Amino acid sequence: MIIPLTSLRGLAAFAVMGYHYAPLMVGIPIFNRGFLGVDLFFLLSGFILANVYDKWFHIRSYFVARIARTYPLHLFSLMLLLPALGRGDAYSVHALLCNLAMTQVICGGPLSWNSVSWSLSAEWISYLLFPFLLRPLLQCPPWMAALLILCCSAILVSISPITADHNYRLLALCRSIPEFLAGMVLYRAYNDKWLAHWGYFVGALMATVSAFAMHAPDILILFAFAAIILSSPYAKIMELRALSFMGDISYSLYMFHLLTGALLSPALLAIGVRAGPAIAITGMGASILVATATHRYVEVPARARVRQWMTPRVSEGTA
């Protein structure tokens, strides 16, 4: 089951990257709503963590795994941006401290430092809540789980459009937490064999494409995402090595595609590359190469080192 979900993470990261390069691809609207890849991340986080810790949960091991998975790469991105310290509110000492503590969404202010890390900050709030939610959500009556999904949907509708500026600050929690909770409930549905056939995956994929094409409300696309998550473990295509590789580097791709573009675009302009699509395609390709390198030489070894340092006697698979 994990490989198809890993592939989905790769597609989500690629969609977000495409969204940030979309302004350069005038007339090619395929990535215009790629920001919803972040919401797919939130859904997947709740689903995957519920799966990993369904049968066994140890509080120390859980938090070590979360820190090792997320913090080293986040810290590395901040170190790379330190030369920008003091260049406006976005690179102030206060903003740096908030980023170091991963409390950007609580601190408020503009998107700062490695701006995509706002979602990491929002997700960490869900991580803190997870130990208190795991058993109640997995053991509550079905009607209560269904009611929770309705409440989560109502919250997401109330903050639409999801990309409103204030939803990157404190109200980001009204986006991340309901989707994280919905992902946990989806895991219950998966255990009950909902949509347990590759045909449902094809249908969900077609529904998602149609929803994008018809500019459907965000909430309808999120429901399509939910169907894709439930049915993807039964679709062999999601186990293709190219897709799973994108999933492996998805965190690095998400964290470094903006930085890569910010450095590469001026260089391309300097050598005479002016066409927006050419800059976008080159930037996306370079971002994948950078993500591959940071995943291999920073993310993976740092994760192992943090696990070894913090829990030398605890053995646990990567969540």
What amino acid occupies position 309? W
Q: What is the pLDDT of residue 109?
A: 72
CB 170 within 8 Å of CB 106: yes
pLDDT for residue 78 is more than 90: yes
Measured distance CA(245)–CA(236) in Å, rounded: 15
- Widest distance between CA atoms in the chain: 63
Distance in angstroms (rounded) separating the CA atoms of residues 74 and 96: 12
- Highest average pLDDT, of 22-31, 160-169, 204-213, comes from 204-213
Residue 262 lies in a domain: yes
Closest C-alpha to 249, from 223, 288, 191, 280 = 288
Please state the rounded mean pLDDT for residues 242-256.
Answer: 93
18 sits in the region (left: phi over 0; alpha: psi -120 to 50; else beta) called alpha
Q: Which pLDDT score, from 0 to 100, does residue 203 have?
A: 92
Torsion of CA 68, 69, 75, 80, to 10 degrees: 130
- Mean pLDDT for the stretch of residues 167-175: 74
Which tops the pLDDT comparison, 192 or 277? 192
Q: Which residue segment(s) compose the domain that 143 sits in?
A: 2-69+133-163+173-310
pLDDT at 145: 87
311's tokens: 């829990």
- By the 10 Å C-beta count (0-12 exposed, 13-18 middle, 19+ buried), 255 is classed as buried
Average per-residue pLDDT for the chain: 86
**Which amino acid, residue 281?**
I
pLDDT over 70 at 314, yes or no: no
Q: What are all long-range contacts of 303-306, with beta carbons under 8 Å and residues at least 24 apart?
A: 303/68, 303/69, 303/72, 304/68, 305/72, 306/64, 306/67, 306/68, 306/71, 306/72
Interatomic CA distance for residues 129 and 180, integer angstroms: 10
Q: CB neighbours of 4 closer than 8 A, spacing ≥ 6? A: 232, 233, 235, 238, 239
Instruction: Indicate the burial class of 56 (C-beta count within 10 angstroms; 0-12, 13-18, 19 or more).
Output: exposed
| Separation between Cα atoms, residue 294 and residue 199, nearest integer Å | 36
Total domain count, the chain: 1
The pLDDT score that the predictor gives to residue 318 is 46
Does residue 76 sit within a domain? no
How high is the pLDDT of residue 212? 81
- Decide if 81 is inside a domain: no
Provide the H-helix boundaries in 82-217: 93-100, 104-107, 118-139, 142-158, 173-191, 198-213
Q: How far apart are CA 208 and CA 313, in angstroms?
A: 45
94 occurs within a structural domain: no
Inside any domain, residue 12: yes
Residue 121 lies in a domain: no
DSSP 116: G
pLDDT tens-place string over residues 159-169: 776 665 455 67
Asked if residue 128 is part of any domain, the answer here is no
Angle at 287 between CA 281 and CA 291, to 5 degrees: 150
Spatial separation of the C-alpha atoms in residues 49 and 180, rounded to whole Å: 10
Q: Is residue 88 part of a domain?
A: no
